């Protein structure tokens, strides 16, 4: 009996390390994300998440933003609140972009209507149109040896064909009311051509009759 009482504390002490090990938290598993379908639902087998652009340190974000021209820096600035406070789009960057466009012999806004006080006042009028033309690769390869204005490559692989640009221009310029006016004008044009042809035939008959009577 005394031997059993002596052995119990030893057994309790022997189990203590085991209980301490059971309370230790396991190592955190790697970040897992599910593949997202086009319709927004998650499905499929999970895969390990890789590093993204946001995982870089702020020093690299700031250094990368300093290599961007004004339109690209403005797009990055409006990505989220973090980049809005980090990216600089001051007067110096605006002037450098305008000087670059002038050196490439591209269209520039008028100096009398170009307010560089803020991004909101600067991106009005012709500046917004120029940025849209650049974003849609309309200015790419517009001059010999220009190449792609967006990616600075010798050729532009995103430039649309002439028919696609013409179709887009018609779709954005002509509204539904204008299309109805054009459709209504087609019968009038044909009627005018038919009347003109009748008058020409009557005139020829009149000339023939006058010549025969003479």
Q: Tens of pLDDT along 21-50?
A: 434 444 444 443 444 443 444 454 455 678
- What digits encode the pLDDT tens for the residues 148-195? 888 888 888 777 666 666 666 666 566 666 777 888 888 889 898 898
Tokens of residue 128, six digits: 């917004």
Burial class (CB in 10 A: 0-12, 13-18, 19+), 147: middle
Per the CB < 8 A criterion, the answer to whether 91 and 116 are in contact is yes
Residue, of 60 and 181, whose pLDDT is higher? 60
- Residue 109 DSSP symbol: -
The tokens of 40 are what? 């927004």
DSSP 142: S
Place of tokens 């025969």: 212
Q: What is the pTM of this model?
A: 0.53
Tokens coding 170: 């018609």
Predicted pLDDT at 14 = 43
**CA distance linking residue 9 with residue 140, whole number of Å:** 85
User: Quick one: which of 79, 76, 45, 46 has its CA closest to 62?
Assistant: 76
């Amino acid at each position: 009996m005394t031997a059993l009482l002596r052995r119990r504390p030893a057994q309790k002490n022997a189990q203590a390390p085991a209980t301490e090990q059971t309370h230790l938290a396991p190592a955190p598993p790697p970040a897992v994300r599910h593949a997202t379908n086009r319709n927004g639902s998650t499905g499929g087998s999970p895969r390990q998440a890789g590093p993204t652009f946001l995982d870089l340190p702020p020093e690299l974000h700031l250094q990368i933003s300093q290599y961007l021209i004004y339109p690209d820096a403005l797009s990055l600035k409006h990505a989220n609140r973090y980049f809005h406070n980090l990216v600089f789009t001051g007067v110096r960057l605006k002037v450098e972009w305008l000087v670059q466009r002038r050196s490439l012999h591209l269209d520039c806004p008028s100096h009398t209507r170009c307010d560089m006080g803020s991004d909101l006042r600067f991106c009005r009028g012709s500046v917004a149109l120029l940025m849209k033309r650049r974003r849609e690769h309309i200015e790419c390869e517009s001059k010999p040896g220009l190449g792609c204005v967006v990616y600075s490559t010798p050729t532009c692989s995103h430039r649309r064909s002439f028919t696609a640009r013409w179709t887009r221009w018609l779709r954005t310029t002509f509204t539904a009311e204008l299309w109805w006016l054009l459709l209504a004008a087609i019968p009038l044009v044909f009627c005018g051509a038919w009347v003109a042809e009748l008058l020409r035939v009557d005139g020829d008959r009149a000339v023939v009759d006058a010549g025969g009577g003479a």
